[in-house]
A and B are shown apart, each in its own frame.
Chain A
C-alpha cells in the first residue's frame, strides 16, 4: 500500500485515480487502447506508439516479465502504460527483468488499479484523445487544464522523434543459412520508427538493408542504387510528412516499394490519395483482413490511428488488395502497373499472429521480377 497514487485525466474531463506502477512523473499524450492479450514488451518498444499512452485491455500485465529478445526497438517508446493489475512476480524461463523495473529504468509512468474496461469503452465511444497522467498533479481539474494545453496528434510530425539521424547498415542477429543460396539484394528501408522484426524478416528473405532517416531524399536513395525500397511503420499523422511523400513520388516506379502501416499511408498519399483519422484506431492482434485476390482471411496485428480513404484513390491506377472485415477500411493496396504495394497492418506481427508473413516473400518476388526485367 506504499505505492504512490496517480491521476489520469482525459481531455473531455473524465478522470481516473489509480496507483503508480513504474516511474513517477507527469506526461501528456494521446490515449489509445490495445486489445492484444500478450506482447506488452513488443508494444512498449514499438516506435509507432511515440506520443501515445497505451491502455492494455487485458487486465493482467507483466506476468512473464521482460526478456532480452522481444523488443522492437532498444527502449520503451510509449508515453505511459495503463493497466488493471501489474504482476508482482514475473514467471517465464526467458525473463530477465520485471515489467515494473523496466518501466522505472526507462522512466516510463505506469498506472494500475483503474477500471481499464470503463476507460476503453469511453475511448471507443468518444474516440482517441489527449490525456494527462501524473503522480504529481493529483487534482484532476489542474491536470485537465494542463492536458488541454498539450498538442494534439493531428498534423503532428512524430516521426522526427524516432527516425535515426544517419543511415546505417542493418546487422541481422541470425546469420543466413548456408543452404540459402538465393541472390542477396541490396535495399533501402526508410525508418519512420521501424520495428526490428520487419528488418529481421526482410533480411531473412535475402536482403541487405540500408536503413535511412525519414529525411532522406530520392536522390540520396538513388545514389545507394537499391533493388527496392521499404517504407516502414511509424507514429503520428501521415499528412504531416509532406517531405517524405514528395520524395517517394520521385522514386515511385523506379524501385519496387513495399509499405507497411505508416509506410502504407505514405504510399497512398504519394499515389494521390488522402488519409483520415479513425475514431479510436486499430490496435490489437485479432483483426481479420481479407485478401481480395485469394479471398483468404488473415488474422493480423494492427497499430494505426490513420487510414487511407479508398474513394480518394484513382481506381484506374490503384487497386485495393486488402480490406478489414470488421469495419471495411482499406488494409492494403497496390499500383496496377508500377511495382509498389503496401499493407496497413503488420505482416511482421510481433506481437500478433504470423498469418501475413507471406507478404515478405511476395515482396521478394516483386523485387526479383523487377530486377529480371531491368
Chain B
C-alpha cells in the first residue's frame, strides 16, 4: 500500500535540549523524518525547544514551534494546528513520554489525532518493564529475574528474591538516569531512594544481575505488512553492566555463530510483533552468557535511538527516514535503497568493514564525580570509525575522540599506573581499554584479562596483535635506517641489500597502517617525527585508499558517495572535476562543542551546494546530521586529525577547506593544513592565531584603543602573587595549557589563590598561569557578526542574564539586550567593527564583552562560528552560517543583502541545560568553566514570558506559588532586596537560614526560619523532601557553609526543584513569574515570526 492520503498534517515532537543520554542523534533522526514527510507532500508541524537543531530550521517544516516540550504547550499547539497525526518515535524518550501523556490526558482523542509509528499499547508494553516482562513470558522469551518496588521498604524486602549484585532501574527515565548496580543492602538503599525519586511514577525494578554477560543489540525495522528486517547487529566490547551508551561497541556482531545470531534475530522478530510495534524502527538488547550461550532479552525501544543513528551511519541505511515513510503507510518493499537506488529498502544491509563506536567522557569537568561506569549513562558524545579490521577501526576511533590520544597508546601519552591495574580492569572506567593493553604488557594472559573485564577474548587478542605490530615497529632498525636515508642524496647505484631493506620497511609500515597506527604513533615508536614518518611513507608509496559504505558489501553499485579510508589496494573515491569545498566537522560531542557546530556545518553545506560547489564533509560523529549521506555531496567518515584530513585533501584536491564551522577541532588543524599548502577559506589561520595569542591580541587591542581587563601571566608563585596585588582582586586565573575554560577559577584573596596554585600543579616557563582582572558584577555580552573583509555587520547582540564570570555557554542570554544604554550599545558596535577589520575576518566572528561601570571591555574574540549561531539565526530569521559560507567563497555582504544589524520586535531567551543530575558528588555551581550539555530557547513578545518559557523548556519551570528558599552571599543581599519584595508581593512563602532571614526581616520582608543541615531538624532538605519548597535561590557563599550549600543544591537538582544561583537569574525569574500571572504566552510558529520580520524589513527598505 502506498502512502496514506487521509492524513495531511503531521506533528513531530523533537527531543528538546541535548542532555546526557539524548543528544543530537535525535536531531539527525528528526531532520530525516521531516525531510521524508515533506518530500511526500505532508504538512509538517514540529515542536522542539532546542534552537541549536537543524530540524528547527524553518525550511525543514511548515510550522516550527520553538516552545517548551510540556503537555500543556503541546495541547495548545494541537488545538491551534489540528494535525491529523502525531509521529512520536523520532524524538527519543522525550517524544514517546509526551505522546503517552497527551494520550492519558485525552488530548489526542479530543482533537482526533492519530498516533502513527507506535501506538500507545506498544509504547506501554515496551516502556513499562513489568508489562514487558509479562509479554516476554507469554511468548516464551527469557528475561532476567526481577521484582518491582514502589517504596524503599518494598525494595529492601523484595531484593531477597533476587540476590546481589542486582541492578536497579527506575521506570520511565532517560538513559538509565537514577539507576545503578548494588552489591550490598546499603548501596541498594542509596540507589533505590534516588531511583524512586527520579522515576516519574515512583517505580523501580530490581533485577537479577547479568553483569559480565556478553551484550548485543539488534536494530530492526518493520512495516505494517509485517515485513521485518535487521538493519544492524551490534556487539558491545564492554560486557553487561556498562550502559550501552558508555560502552565501546562494534558492528556487526563478531563472536556469535550464524546459528546463535539467527536465533537472536528470530527472538527480535517475535518481540517486535508481540510488543505490537506496527511500523518503524526499534532496538532490542540481549545478554548472552559467555560460557553457556544462555540468552535473555534486556529491553526494547519502539523508536529510533542513539543506536539506530549509529546503525544508520554504520550501514548506510537511513532508519529514521524509512521509519517516517513506513509510518505514513509505505511498505519496506515500496521504498528504494537510497545508496544503490536500484534495489529496495526491504533487505538486510551487509557490511564489509568493521565499525567501532567509542564514547566520549568529560569527567574532568565535574570534579568530585565518580568516573566508574555503570548502568547510568555518563558519556556526552561518541565517535564512530570504520576500518577493514577491528584493530584499524579501534585505533582510528581512539584518535577521533580528541582526548589527546593518537590511537591505542604508543603515542607518548600513556599514563600507566601499575597499582591501579587490577582495579582498572575489573571496574569499568573510561581508561579501561588502555589498561587492557597495559595488562598485556604486564604479562597477564588473555583469559585472565577476559575474566577481570568481561571483555571477550577475541577483542583482547586483537589488542595483543596491535602490541605485536607495535613491537615490530619499535625494534625495527630498518625503519629507522630507512628514515635516515631519506635525508641522504640518492646514490646512483643502490647498495646490495638496499632493495630488500626497502621492501621490508615498506611491508612493515603498511602493516602498521593497516593496524590503524597513526604517523604520530609510528614516530613515537621510532623516535622520529610525524613529518618524517609521513615523508617516508609517501616515499615508499604507502597511502590510504578510500572504500565505499554501500549497504551491500559491493554486491550492487553504490550511487551515494560515502567513504572511509583503508590501507588496501583499490581506491573507490574518484574525485570529480567540479569545484570542490571540504567542510570539516566538529568530531565527538563534548561539553563546549556540540550540535551548534554541526548546525553550522550543515548550513554551510546547504549554502555552498546551492551555489554550485561540490561539498565534501569530513566528520567522525555518528550522531550528526552532517554525517548523513545526503547532506553533503560526498562524505568521509574519518578522524579529524591532520594526517587523516590531509589524505582526503590529497585525494580530492579541493578548491578550499572550511575550518570555521566545526568549532575548535578544525580550527586546531588550520595551521597545519595551511602549512601543507591547503587553501583555508574565510578568515586566515594567521588571523585566528592573532585572536588566540594573548600577547598579539593584547597588542592589537591596544592599537585599536579597545580596553581589556588588566591581565598578565606569571611563572612563579611569588611573581603571580605580585601580579595579583598589582592588578587587585578578584582575579580570573587559569593554567595556560588548558583551553576552553577548563580549570579556570575566580579568586578573591591570597588564600584562594594559594589553593588554586596548589591544585593547578606544575607552573613552569612552559606553563605559566594566566591572570585576568575579574570584572565583578559586570554584565556580559556576546556579539555574533559577519564580515567580508570590507564590511562588518552585527547579527545580534546578546545580553547575558547571569553576570560575568559564568561561562557564556552556561549563561542564559537574551536578544535584544535590555539593560544597556544606547551609548554602550553604540560602543559595542564600534568595537565589533574595529575588531572585524583588525582581524580581517571573512565569515563569522563572535566577541564577548563585559560592561562594568559604563565601560565596555573585550573579553575574547573568536574568529569563527560560535555556539550561539543557530540561536541567533532563529532569533533574527536569517541563516547567518549560510551567509558566512558564501562570504568565504567570495560573496560580499552587500551581494548577500545583509548590510544592517537586524532588529526584532520580540524577545528570545537562550538557557543552558546542565547535567548535574548525572554526576552526583559534583557541586552544582556555575563558574568560568562550561558544564552545560545543551540549550533551549524561549520566544515571546513579552520578555518575562520568553524567560519563563526558557526555564520551563530547561525543565525547571518557574513556580507560580509556594515556598522559596533563599540563601545569599552577603554582597548579594542588598541587590536581592527588591526581588524579595516582589516575590513576597506575589504571595510566595519565603524561607531562609538565620543570616539571610535577619537581613530580610530587618527590611520588613516576612520570612520563615529554617535550619541549616547541621543546626537541627527539620532542616532545609527536609522541607524540600516534603515538597514545601518550589524554588531555591542560592548565590555561592563563603567557604564555611560550602558543604551545606552543596547538599542544598544537590537536593534541588535531584528533586527537580528550580534552582537559581545568581541574582540576575532571580531577577529574571520574578519578571517571568509576574508575566506568567498576568499575560497569556504567545504561541507562534518560527515561520510566522520570521515572516513578520521579513515584511518589516521590506517596509524599511521602501
Question: Chain A residues with Cβ under 8 A from B332's Cβ?
Answer: 297
- A259 at interface (Cβ–Cβ under 8 A)? no
Interface readout for B282-296 with A: 1 if CB under 8 Å, 0 if not? Answer: 000000011111000
Q: Closest CB-CB distance, B96 to chain A, in whole Å?
A: 28
Q: Which residues of B contact A64 (CB under 8 A)?
A: 255-257, 458
The answer to whether residues A297 and B569 also contact, given A38-B261, A124-B554, A286-B350 and a CB cut-off of 8 A, is no
Q: How far is the CA of A352 from the CA of B225 in the complex (A)?
A: 22
Instruction: Tell me whether A94 is interfacial, beta carbon within 8 Å.
Output: yes
Is residue B778 contacting chain A, with contact meaning CB distance below 8 A?
A: no
Point out the residues of chain B lying under 8 angstroms from A349, CB to CB.
Answer: 262
Which of B24-32, B33-41, B339-347 makes up part of the contact surface? B339-347
- CB pair A299–B554 under 8 Å, yes or no, is no
Q: Indicate with 1 or 0, residue by residue over A24-60, a CB within 8 angstroms of chain B CB atoms.
A: 0000000001011111011000000000000001111
The answer for the CA separation of A63 and B259 in the assembled complex, in Å, is: 14
Q: Is the CB of B568 within 8 A of A118?
A: yes
Task: For A84, give the chain B residue with the smallest CB separation.
Answer: B388
Give chain A's interface residue range (CB within 8 Å of chain B).
35 or more
Q: Does A368 contact B (CB under 8 A)?
A: no
Cross-interface CB contact of A63 among B333, B458, B572, cutoff 8 Å: B458
Bound form: Cα–Cα A117–B564 in Å: 13
Would you list which residues of chain B between 275 and 312 have a CB under 8 Å from chain A? 289-293
A353 at the interface (CB under 8 A from B): yes
Q: Mark A282-316, 1 if CB is under 8 A from B, else 0.
A: 00111110100001110100000000000000000
CA distance A118 to B233 in the complex (A): 24
Q: Report the separation of the CA atoms of residues A59 and B547 in the bound assembly, to the nearest whole angstrom.
A: 13
A59 touches B388 (CB 8 A): yes
**For residue B254, which residues in chain A have a CB less than 8 angstroms away from its CB?**
60, 63
**A326 and B446 contact, Cβ closer than 8 Å, known pairs A115-B570, A353-B262:** no
Contacts of B737 in A (CB 8 A): none
Cα A117 to Cα B353 in complex, Å, equals 9
Contact with B along A114-143 (1 / 0, CB 8 A): 111110110010000000000000000000
A88 within 8 A of B: yes
Q: From known contacts A93-B291, A116-B352, infer whether A286 and B258 are also in contact, taking CB-CB under 8 Å.
A: no
A91, closest chain B residue (CB) = B458
B170 to chain A, nearest CB (A): 33
A60:B570 contact, CB within 8 angstroms = no
Q: Given the complex, which residues of A lie within 8 Å of B556, measured CB to CB?
A: 124, 326
Check B258–A42 contact: CB distance below 8 A. Answer: yes
Most chain B CB inside 10 Å of its own CB: which residue of A16, A69, A94, A117: A117
Q: Chain A contacts of B333 at CB under 8 A?
A: 288, 290, 297, 325
Q: With A63-B255, A92-B255 as given contacts, are A285 and B388 in contact (CB-CB < 8 Å)?
A: no
Any A CB within 8 A of the CB of B894: no
Residue of A nearest to B569 (CB): A115
Known contacts A37-B350, A290-B333: does B257 contact A117 (CB below 8 Å)? no
Chain A positions within 8 Å of B259 at CB level: 69-70, 350
B352 and A89 contact, CB distance less than 8 A: no
A41, A42, A118, A124 pick with most chain B CB within 10 angstroms: A118
Q: Please state if B346 and A325 are interface contacts (CB–CB under 8 Å).
A: yes
Residue B318 lies at the interface, judged by CB distance under 8 Å to chain A: no
Selected from B291, B344, B352, the residue in CB contact (under 8 A) with A59 is B352
Does A326 contact B461, Cβ atoms closer than 8 Å? Answer: no
* Interface bits A85-103 vs B (CB < 8 Å: 1, else 0): 1011111111000000000
Give the residues in chain A near B252, CB-CB below 8 Å. Answer: 37-38, 58
Determine the main DSSP class of B at the interface with A: loop
- Whether B257 pairs with A92 at a CB distance below 8 angstroms is yes
A256 within 8 A of B: no
Decide if B349 is an interface residue (CB 8 Å cutoff): yes
Closest residue of chain A to B1 (Cβ to Cβ) is A295
Cβ of B555 within 8 Å of any chain A Cβ, yes or no, is yes
Question: Residues of B contacting A36 with CB < 8 Å?
Answer: 258, 350
**Do residues A117 and B225 form an inter-chain contact, with CB atoms below 8 A?**
no
Distance of A84 from chain B, by nearest CB (Å): 6
Contact in complex: A121, B570 (CB < 8 Å): yes
Identify which of residues 132-178 in chain A touch chain B, using a CB-to-CB cut-off of 8 Å: none
Report if B402 contacts A (CB, 8 A).
Answer: no
- Does B1094 belong to the interface (CB within 8 Å)? no
- Smallest distance from the beta carbon of A21 to chain B beta carbons, Å? 14
> CB-CB < 8 A to A299: which residues of B?
228-229, 347-348
A353-B265 in contact (CB<8A) = yes
Q: Are A70 and B458 in contact (CB under 8 A)?
A: no
Q: A57 and B347: CB pair below 8 A?
A: no
A118→B570 contact, CB < 8 A: yes
A186 an interface residue at 8 Å Cβ cutoff?
Answer: no
Q: Are the CB atoms of A354 and B569 closer together than 8 Å? A: no
Which chain B positions have C-beta within 8 A of A120?
352, 553-555
Q: Are A70 and B257 in contact (CB under 8 A)?
A: yes
A94-B293 CB under 8 A given contacts A84-B388, A118-B568, A296-B227: yes
- B555 contacts A296, CB within 8 Å? no
A40 to chain B, nearest CB (A): 8
How far is B256's CA from A90's CA once the two chains are assembled, in angstroms?
A: 11
Known contacts: A115-B569, A297-B332. The answer to whether A94 contacts B257 by CB under 8 A is yes
Residue B901 interfacial (CB < 8 Å):
no
Given A120-B554, A296-B227, A297-B333, decide whether A354 and B347 contact each other with a Cβ distance below 8 A: no
On chain A, the residues within 8 Å of B261 by CB distance are: 38
Tell me the minimal C-beta distance from B308 to chain A in angstroms: 18
- Min Cβ gap A134→B in Å is 19
Given contacts A118-B570, A353-B262, contact A85 B553 (CB under 8 A): no
Q: Are A89 and B262 in contact (CB under 8 A)?
A: no
Q: Complex Cα distance A337/B765, Å?
A: 94
Say yes or no: A288 contacts B352, CB within 8 Å.
Answer: no
Q: Please, which residues of chain B bring their CB within 8 A of the CB of A33?
A: 554-555
Q: Does B150 contact A (CB under 8 A)?
A: no
Known A64-B257, A69-B259, A93-B292; contact A325-B347, beta-carbon cutoff 8 A? yes
In the assembled complex, A107 has its CB within 8 A of some CB on chain B: no
- Nearest to B265 among chain A residues (CB) is A353
**Closest Cβ–Cβ distance, residue B562 to chain A (whole Å):** 14
* B390 engages A60 (CB within 8 Å): yes
C-alpha gap A69/B230 in the complex (Å) = 25
- A347 within 8 Å of B (CB atoms): no
Write the nearest CB–CB distance from B1024 to chain A, whole angstroms. Answer: 51
Assess the A70–B554 pair: CB atoms within 8 A.
no
Which residue on chain A has the smallest CB distance to residue B253? A38
Q: Is the CB of B569 within 8 A of A325?
A: no
Task: Map CB proximity to B onto A200-224 as digits: 1 under 8 Å, 0 otherwise.
Answer: 0000000000000000000000000
- Is residue A268 contacting chain B, with contact meaning CB distance below 8 A? no
Q: Are A326 and B347 in contact (CB under 8 A)?
A: yes
Q: What residues on B are CB-neighbors of A352 within 8 Å?
A: 258, 262
Tell me the minimal C-beta distance from A343 to chain B in angstroms: 17
Which A residues are CB-close (under 8 A) to B555? 33, 35, 57, 120, 124, 284
B802 CB–A CB distance under 8 Å: no
The verdict on B911 contacting chain A, using a C-beta distance below 8 Å, is no
**B354: which A residues are within 8 A, CB to CB?**
59-60
| B258 and A57 contacting across the interface, CB-CB below 8 Å | no
Residues of B within 8 A of A350 (CB): 258-259
Closest CB pairs A-B (n = 8): A39-B258, A351-B258, A118-B570, A115-B569, A57-B553, A89-B461, A38-B258, A91-B458
Q: Footprint of A on B, CB under 8 Å?
A: 225-230, 233, 252-262, 265-266, 289-293, 332-333, 342-344, 346-354, 388-390, 446, 456-458, 461, 465, 547, 552-557, 568-570, 572
8 A-B pairs within 8 Å (CB atoms) are namely A38-B256, A41-B257, A60-B354, A121-B572, A290-B333, A297-B333, A325-B346, A351-B258
